[in-house]
Amino acid sequence: MQVTRILAVRHGETAWNHASRIQGHTDIDLNEHGRWQAAQLAQALRDEPITACYASDLSRARSTAQAVADLVGQTVGTHAGLRERCFGQFEGQTWVQLEAAWPAETQAWRKRLPDFAPPGGESLLQLQARVVAAVDELAARHPGEQVLMVAHGGVLDILYRAATRLDLQAPRSWELPNTAVNRLLWTPEGLSLVGWADTSHLQQGSLDERAA
């Protein structure tokens, strides 16, 4: 059976990442550091045999994917199924603000209750169903090939759990750095993990890691 190799990447840094604000579906583009991260990512992947580039339709993911696509001679196809979890009324808030205004809801979020949804947002169960369906759809188009998928922290968390068969409520022990390279294999039976959170390309260059 031919497999699809997936390079799964979280978008570069945004001003809201830097300020620890919840983004969700709010469309925030990359900041200066995020654009540098995307450029470093593109250089790291320029010799990879990438046959298709996909991204969430939010600009921070599209911009990150475009940096790679420009170097590997591809265009970027967008898919709303790769969007970050929708956090509804939580979006734009910091954790301090959330804990003050929504203490019970914030606690439910911290406990990773699968059926909890922020007011106007999505539950983890809804996110999981959406993300897995989108990745299945895209990966099935490319048997025997390698594709890039640029998405978001919540999406990457779902993919890690799917590939390692971990429950939605299992404590997270893996990192989700901006523009880290994560390698997965896909077959119709599901995902498997090859490598996770490679940030070696971000150790190069002179821009400070937290500059924005």
Domain ranges (residues) in the chain: 10-87+134-152+164-183
What number does CATH give the domain 10-87+134-152+164-183?
3.40.50.1240
B/e letters for 188-210, b = 16+ CB within 10 Å, e = fewer, are eeebebeebebbebbeeeebeee
Q: Are 20 and 95 in contact (CB under 8 A)?
A: yes
Say which of 13, 25, 84, 91 is annotated catalytic: 84
- What would the two tokens of residue 157 be? 């968390």
Check residue 210 and give its pLDDT. 35
B/e letters for 59-89, b = 16+ CB within 10 Å, e = fewer, are bbbbbbbbbbbebbebebbbbebbbbbbbeb
Output the tens digit of pLDDT for each of the chain's 212 residues.
789 999 999 999 999 999 999 999 999 999 999 999 999 999 999 999 999 999 999 999 999 999 999 999 999 999 999 999 999 999 999 999 999 999 999 999 999 999 999 999 999 999 999 999 999 999 999 999 999 999 999 999 999 999 999 999 999 999 999 999 999 999 999 999 999 999 999 997 544 433 33
Say which of 11, 25, 152, 201 is annotated catalytic: 11
Check residue 211 and give its pLDDT. 34
DSSP-derived pairing of the beta strands 181-187 and 190-198: antiparallel
Q: State the greatest distance between any 2 C-alpha atoms of the chain, in Å, as a whole number.
A: 52
Q: Are 73 and 50 in contact (CB under 8 A)?
A: no
- The secondary element (H helix, E strand) that includes residue 184 is strand 181-187
Instruction: Report how far apart, in Å, the C-alpha atoms of 50 and of each of 7, 53, 59, 135, 181 are.
Output: 9, 7, 21, 16, 13
**Is 79 annotated as catalytic?**
no
**Is 11 annotated as catalytic?**
yes
- Alpha-carbon span 4 to 121, nearest angstrom: 31
